[in-house]
Amino acid sequence: MAESGASDSYVRDGYEIVRGFIEPDSARHAVALVDGLRAHIRRTRNIDDQRIQPLKRYLGDTRYAQLGALAGFDRLRKLLESRIGPGAEADSELLGLWIEPSRRTYVLPWHRDLRDNAKGLDWSEWYAHMASPRFFNQFHIALEPDDCLWVVPGSHLRDDTDVEKRMFPDRPIVVDFIENDLNPWYDKGDKYPPRFGRRWALNQFDRIYYGRLGLPPYAAARRRNDAVYARALDYCRSMPGAVQVKLQAGDLMMYRNSVWHTAIYRADVRRTTLFSNASTPESLAWLAGQRKRVAEFGTNARWFSRDQLG
Ligand SMILES: O=C(O)CCC(=O)C(=O)O
Ligand SMILES: [Fe+2]
């Protein structure tokens, strides 16, 4: 298990947990600082959204700086440099917050970032950078306990195994028991909820129930969520070598987002976790080049469903 500051484990496993990176008190204050956002997102955006990004846009400079101090961003830079080398830093433009969806539990498809979720990306370039520690670094800081993420340790150092190739022959990768609108990289015409009819009416009701009133999942939704959660656990466990990452409030996790990974989002379990890329000058330059050719890349658009776009 990759844990507690041994840098060789980051190289070997592609992830590392630093327990208690911030004090419980700081974590509590940081939760309070971002908590109103949860309700705001529910009211104004998709009620099943699990990602607020970029955080800066919602927090404003003063509160953002306060959050940075509470979350130990100065120490973070030293940590990142010690693992990734000179010039590594948390990308403040991309800093975001994971939250729990308010209505439906779901699971992401297993994937390696960019290779599997940036349509149009040149795979050969991605593979060319795979072995370099200067690329594809990301971190999470859990402000409350968080066991959403699953990873396959060591997979960032190799291509897919035959089993993985058989499990995920097509792109985009989707999860067959998750609704299309919750499958982030599904991109066919029926991606979005209907604009009229019974399902549309139900969705409108839910937007008031969860979005405006902020109520917890009702009985039918709870039954759906329990069933989906059980299948999601099976889905995660079925990946050879997969481990669940369990963070306590204040723990930091760094990982290579080129490892195979996925996450389960439970509607009834709070999640308040900061995240961003750990960038280097090389990785920023490369991404800027890719941005020109990759559709919707960097805009986070793959996560938006129709009721967020309007
Ligand atoms: O929610 C998480 O912890 C991971 C999300 C993720 O892998 C992604 O958005 O690419
Ligand atoms: Fe990812």
Can you tell me which atom of ligand 1 is nearest the CA of 261? Answer: 7
Ligand nearest to the CA of 142: 1
- pTM here is 0.93
In this structure, is residue 49 part of a structural domain?
yes
Say what the pLDDT of residue 235 is. Answer: 98
Cβ neighbours of residue 217 under 8 Å, at least 6 residues apart?
A: 102, 103, 225, 267, 268
What is the structure's pLDDT at 293? 65
DSSP class of residue 45? Answer: S
pLDDT reported for residue 294:
67
Closest Cα to atom 3 of ligand 1: 149
Ligand 1 shell residues, CB under 6 Å: 98, 108, 113, 148-149, 261, 263
Helix, strand, coil shares, percent, the chain, to 5? 40, 15, 45
Alpha-carbon span 140 to 155, nearest angstrom: 19
CATH assignment at residue 137: 2.60.120.620
Domain assignment present for residue 293? The answer is yes
- Residue 272 covered by a domain: yes
Give residue 93's pLDDT: 85
Predicted pLDDT at 5: 47
268 domain-assigned: yes
**Residue 2, domain member (yes or no):** no
Q: In whole angstroms, what separates CA 227 from the centre of its chain?
A: 22
- Inter-axis angle of helices 55-70 and 24-44, to 10 degrees? 170
Q: Is residue 237 part of a domain?
A: yes
Asked if the structure places residue 211 within a domain, the reply is: yes
Residues of the chain with pLDDT under 70: 1-7, 293-310
- Residue 156 lies inside a defined structural domain of this protein: yes
The residue range of the domain holding 205 is 8-308
Number of domains comprising the chain: 1
Q: What pLDDT score was predicted for residue 256?
A: 97
- The alpha carbon of 198 and the centre of ligand 1 are apart by a number of angstroms equal to 32
- Note the pLDDT tens digit of each residue in 33-63: 999 999 999 998 889 989 998 898 899 899 9
Which ligand 1 atom is the nearest neighbour of the CA of 50?
1
Q: pLDDT tens across 6-29, in order?
A: 468 999 999 999 999 999 999 999
| Token pair 């439970």: residue | 266
pLDDT value of residue 288? 82
